[in-house]
Chain A
């Protein structure tokens, strides 16, 4: 295996499964919920870059320690954040999060979660995802069926994909964005 493959395999196999726990950790320790998705992405970049030199022996403590350090550096940069917040973060014991084993999620639970994730999507976005993924229609066929442009189908798919994955991995499934999901004008094919 090349270095790149080994890094990717580590990220996919060891870091991503921690995302539900990681999201809980970030939300618990950061007051502004709408920053959390960006913090997660920034953390992933840091983790991946740090692992280029050497893969950590134990991924879990590595991830949570890096998460805490990221929160501290953000808290320091934000001028409005009080000094107590930084001190609290510095005193934060990541051990509890570092040793909790992953709960074994059964396929049935996951299915229920997927269903819940689908139900949370805006109606038209859900329709696109259902037609494309479940009924197996192509982008063009889905656009024809719904009477919208292919471009709209693609935008809805992108939103649906991101929101579903976010929800499945322990996020809220509601993405901040410029309102594509609700406001796209209906185009005629």
Chain B
């Protein structure tokens, strides 16, 4: 094997380990170290992770008929081993599901939105996931468990009561649902959980020391990053603001223009750019239509006497 092929092999191993259970913050650091060791490591990893995400998305699009047609038949010689009977059953189930229609589609699925997108995804168990802009979730629902990965962005969960646990994985946190309505947002390594009703438990994934699980009830929000977990109780107003995107709104209260720009830029292809640090520190409040950049720009111009220059896909804001 050439050096390049060996590196690609290592990158693939990292990628697989990373999505397997038991991935810890320590592993995360080890991966970062490996990536920083050589550009060859980084480009191989970037290429594979992008390609793999694409394979995954496509796999989710495939109809169940295609899937079953390609699954190899169970080997007759293995039928007499106990484990293999279960295997044969799984295969039968897959085949039966395909005839019944949609079993695999319900069993495992990927849903995504583009920038500015907003969609509601009904799950097979009666739960609903509401996806915010530029977001992606993957869901696995079977007899024993309901598991959702928030791969990026933000989602609101309205979970149907059911004997099976409902678990959301976001970055290095796991949110165990105890019957509830709540949202989860990923922002780099930061995970924000806002609970509207009911209760959830937020746990670190893997064995990240120093981050004990926390219980969060309606009106509370949790901001978790690496080993720290901040719980803000009785912040119903903030929770309401966190969830305003469901109505297409952004709600700011004493929010710096810098942070407001970041929020607007999540929803729009046209981006707000603020270069002047003094301008970026201006505090604003109010509720805004997330996709109406022109209205926001006009307000900045009228209310704060700021200059707004539209230039292609960029709104440049200055004194």
Contact = CB atoms under 8 A, between A and B. Distances in A.
A113 B7 CA distance: 25
Contact of B52 (A16, A41, A139, A161): A161
B9 A162 contact: yes
B84 to A, nearest CB: 6
A118 B70 contact: yes
B142 to A, nearest CB: 8
A145 B90 contact: yes
B61 interface: yes
A41 B1 contact: no
Interface string B60-96: 0110001100111000001001011011001000100
Interface stretch (B42-50, B208-216, B293-301): B42-50
Given A119-B70, A123-B72, A138-B21, A176 B47 contact: no
A111 B61 contact: yes
Contacts of A77: none
Interface stretch (A24-32, A64-72, A83-91, A128-136): A128-136
A133 B55 contact: yes
Given A115-B66, A158-B16, A177-B1, A135 B94 contact: yes
Contacts of B50: 12, 16
Contact of B86 (A41, A118, A145): A145
Contacts of A134: 59, 62, 67, 71, 104, 108
A146 to B, nearest CB: 8
B42 A165 contact: no
B162 interface: no
B12 A49 contact: no
Contacts of B84: 145, 147
Contact of B5 (A37, A110, A133, A136): A37
A136 B56 contact: no
Given A8-B46, A165-B51, A145 B61 contact: no
A56 B21 CA distance: 39
B4 A42 contact: yes
B13 interface: yes
Interface string B161-182: 0000000000000000000000
Interface in B1-30: 1-5, 7-9, 12-13, 15-16, 20-21
Contacts of B38: 45
Contacts of B46: 8, 11-12, 16
A133 B59 contact: yes
B62 A168 contact: no
B31 to A, nearest CB: 14
A81 interface: no
A175 B12 CA distance: 14
A46 to B, nearest CB: 9
Contact of B56 (A133, A137, A146): A133
Interface string B96-118: 00000000100110000000000
A68 B104 CA distance: 46
10 contacts: A16-B50, A37-B4, A107-B61, A134-B62, A136-B142, A138-B20, A139-B20, A158-B12, A168-B54, A177-B5
